[in-house]
Amino acid sequence: MTEANDSEQKRIEIEWNGPYHVDGEIPLVRKTQIVSEYGEPIAWQTEETLKDAGHYELCRCGHSKDKPFCDCSHLEVDFDGTETAASEPTAERRVRLAGGENIIVRRDYSICADSGYCGLRNTNIDKLLADTADTQVRLQVMAMVEHCPSGSYTYAVEEDGPEIEPDLPKQVAVVTEITSDGPIEGPLWVTGGISIKRSDGQLLETRNRVTLCCCGNSKNKPFCDGTHRDGH
């Protein structure tokens, strides 16, 4: 099977006010944040494989009693899953961040899921860019960008060069986030350039990193906007 055909087979289709339908032998795994002693997200750890392949449906309303799978609770709670996210390519919305030597960092604020990988207790990507002439600092910025699950941050090493993306598998990850109040459910993290079709039949831009809302409350559906952390 060619890479193009493989990409067409591996797909996610969004049901109108319903679940995510996943097809094409896409593994479903569980991933947990690794945090520092100060609670700062710094890496990811794969915990287990929940499903190897085959068709499955994932909860989008946040009320399933069989999470991450759909149990049709969306029919009982009158779920409004209307997709409101911008449909133009993310490259049209990215802005270049100030600073940066031997690295160009851009950000699409509209798809940010506030996962916290862009900062530590005493610094963040914006501040670090002033010192990227130092190779170690530049490597830290690259690592922060590559751990960003939504792909809000991207980087290139040349002014007109391509965006450099981490090599991520084609899979869907059920994310557990670590907070000061304990573990909480995060978004569905889709990696590896899997095709996603909206409920109106329109294809979303295929990207290497996408975070999909599964709490039902995002204002930027189908993408996660961090609303699931409200109250935590």
pLDDT in tens, 15-30: 999 999 999 999 999 9
Contact (Cβ atoms closer than 8 angstroms) between residue 197 and residue 209: no
77 and 176 belong to one structural domain: yes
* CB neighbour list of residue 92: distance below 8 Å, 6 or more residues apart: none
144 and 186 belong to one structural domain: no
Residue with tokens 């990696």: 191
Average pLDDT of adjacent 10-residue blocks, the chain of 232 residues: 56 98 96 96 96 95 98 97 93 94 96 96 97 97 98 95 95 96 96 97 96 98 96 61
70 and 169 belong to one structural domain: yes
67 and 170 belong to one structural domain: yes
Give the total number of structural domains in the chain: 2
Q: Which of 116, 131, 156 delimits the end of a domain?
A: 156
CA distance 123 to 27: 35
80 and 170 belong to one structural domain: yes
Beta bridge partners of 211: 189
Residue ranges making up the domain that contains 169: 3-85+165-229
73-119 pLDDT, tens digit each: 999 999 999 999 998 899 999 999 999 999 999 999 999 999 999 99
By C-alpha distance, which of 83, 109, 57 is closest to 216? 83
* CB neighbour list of residue 58: distance below 8 Å, 6 or more residues apart: 19, 20, 22, 28, 68, 69, 70, 172, 188, 214
**What is the pLDDT at residue 7?**
46
CA distance 84 to 221: 6
Query: Which pTM value belongs to this model?
Result: 0.94
201 and 180 belong to one structural domain: yes
The total number of residues written for the chain in this structure: 232
23 and 79 belong to one structural domain: yes
128 and 18 belong to one structural domain: no
CA distance 74 to 60: 8
**What is the pLDDT at residue 2?**
45
DSSP state of 106: E
CA distance 98 to 133: 14
